[in-house]
């Protein structure tokens, strides 16, 4: 199969799954955890600190920040490369994609709820006394969005695979 034929044979769902994985990976380089202050004097101090002390990307945050985007990317790549193999699709490739996307979404949600655990108890106490809030950054929002998109598209792919398996062999080529 030549490259143009391969590109045409990949469904929009599979391309969207790969795009979600790439977006998730790209989001890891954006801020995932940020420190903000409500008082102007503390905000001035935060602006004078090194950028890495105030803003953290996924690679310098917790496990729940850097881990979930990697399976999303891997799932997107696998679905695009192996999605044309009928035996793999029937054997559960769309289901595997859905499970990986849901697990990544769950890990990101856990990361959201454990956001302050990136700092030890002493640091959290100092932050609270100074009026410093630990908050999510843009990367965390984009990563969560990518995981949601991947879940929805994987679910749609599972439904399409079920409809495809019920059709006679000649009609299957027209569905994709």
pLDDT tens string, the chain, 176 residues long: the values are 676 777 788 889 999 999 999 999 999 999 999 999 988 888 888 889 898 889 999 999 999 999 999 999 999 999 999 988 888 888 899 999 999 999 999 999 999 999 988 888 998 898 899 889 999 999 999 999 999 999 999 999 999 888 877 776 655 555 55
Spatial CB neighbours of 71, under 8 Å, sequence gap ≥ 6: 100, 103, 104
Q: How far apart are CA 77 and CA 60, in angstroms?
A: 25
Task: Report pTM.
Answer: 0.87
Q: In what order do the strands lie in the sheet with 31-37?
A: 55-57, 31-37, 132-136
**What integer pLDDT is reported at residue 52 of this predicted model?**
86
Q: Where are the domains of the chain?
A: 10-175
From residue 130, how far is each of 18, 138, 140 by CA, in Å? 43, 24, 25
Q: How far apart are CA 176 and CA 169, in angstroms?
A: 12
């Amino acid at each position: 199969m030549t490259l143009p034929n391969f590109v045409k044979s990949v469904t929009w769902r599979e391309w969207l799954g790969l795009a979600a994985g790439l977006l998730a990976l790209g989001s890891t380089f954006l801020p995932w955890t940020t420190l903000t202050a409500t008082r102007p004097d503390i905000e001035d101090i935060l602006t004078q600190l090194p950028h890495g002390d105030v803003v953290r990307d996924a690679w310098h945050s917790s496990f729940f920040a850097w881990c979930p985007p990697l399976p999303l990317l891997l799932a997107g790549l696998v679905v695009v490369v192996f999605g044309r193999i009928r035996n793999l699709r029937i054997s559960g490739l769309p289901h595997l994609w859905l499970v990986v996307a849901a697990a990544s979404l769950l890990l990101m949600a856990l990361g959201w709820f454990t956001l302050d655990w990136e700092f030890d108890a002493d640091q959290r106490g100092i932050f609270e006394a100074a009026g410093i809030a630990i908050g999510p950054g843009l990367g965390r929002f984009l990563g969560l969005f990518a995981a949601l998109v991947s879940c929805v598209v994987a679910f749609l792919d599972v439904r399409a695979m079920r409809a495809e398996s019920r059709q006679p062999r000649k009609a299957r080529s027209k569905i994709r």
